[in-house]
């Protein structure tokens, strides 16, 4: 199976590649539109800032390549945020695959730290992406912005407020947490995506 990880100006891509290798998948890392379009599955991961990342995607025409994909595609972390309609980070118009909006966490208590870093649950799971998982499993998050809960939400969590932990529409899936850093639970989720 041909799994392509999208190469663009975002960090943390190599930890996703290593996570895939741990489950026996040898992915291709590429920013080439033809290679991405020819993949069986596409993963759009990363850590970064929304406005500069979207500017890069537009400049390289990868924004249209990603929007037009027909195969199962998984966004991770900033990947999820960029697949939404817009982000408050840099007041950015994003890819618009999902209707949800991305907003910055606004702490209401002193102990609520931003970025949200660490382990938190997945709740209200409703997708084949989460098959064979225990109830309310813990996964690893690192982010300062989150997607609203809406019609595309397939799992949610609560930190400061309830928000979308995962989204799905047509062939597009996205998770706010890092499956590649979420131990055994994350490996099951990556395997489930590969088997979709």
Catalytic residue among 77, 84, 94, 146: 77
Catalytic residue among 49, 111, 178, 195: 178
- Alpha carbon distance 88, 190 (integer Å): 29
Active site residue 123: no
Find, among 190, 147, 173, the residue nearest to 16 by Cα. Answer: 190
In this structure, how many other beta carbons lie within 10 angstroms of the beta carbon of residue 56? 16
Active site residue 77: yes
Catalytic residue among 49, 89, 180, 184: 180
Active site residue 116: no
Query: Using an 8 Å Cβ cutoff, are 149 and 133 in contact?
Result: no
What crossing angle do the helices spanning 183-195 and 13-22 adopt, rounded to 10°?
80
Spacing of C-alpha 101 from chain mean position: 14
**What are 102's strand-pairing partners?**
87, 147
**Dihedral Cα 154, 133, 66, 22, nearest 10 deg:** 160
Query: Using an 8 Å Cβ cutoff, are 59 and 23 in contact?
Result: no
**DSSP labels, 110-144:** TT--SSEEEEEE-BS--SGGGTTPPSS-EEEEEES
Q: Which residues are identified as catalytic?
A: 77, 178, 180
């Amino acid at each position: 199976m041909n799994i392509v990880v999208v190469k663009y100006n975002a960090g943390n891509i190599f930890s996703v590649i290593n996570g895939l290798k741990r489950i026996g998948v040898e992915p291709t890392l590429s920013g080439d539109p033809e290679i991405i379009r020819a993949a069986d599955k596409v993963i759009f991961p990363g850590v970064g800032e929304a406005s500069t990342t979207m500017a890069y995607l537009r400049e390289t025409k990868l924004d249209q390549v990603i929007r037009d994909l027909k195969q199962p595609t998984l966004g991770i972390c900033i990947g999820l945020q960029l697949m939404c309609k817009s982000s408050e980070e840099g007041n950015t118009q994003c890819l618009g695959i999902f209707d949800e909006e991305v907003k910055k966490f606004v702490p209401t208590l002193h102990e609520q730290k931003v970025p949200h870093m660490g382990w938190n649950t997945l709740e209200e799971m409703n997708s084949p992406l989460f098959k064979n998982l225990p109830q309310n499993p813990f996964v690893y998050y690192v982010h300062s912005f989150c997607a609203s809960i809406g019609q595309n939400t397939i799992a949610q969590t609560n930190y400061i407020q309830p928000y979308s932990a995962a989204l799905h529409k047509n062939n597009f899936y996205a998770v706010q947490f890092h499956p590649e850093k979420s131990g055994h639970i994350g490996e099951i989720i990556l395997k489930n995506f590969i088997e979709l």
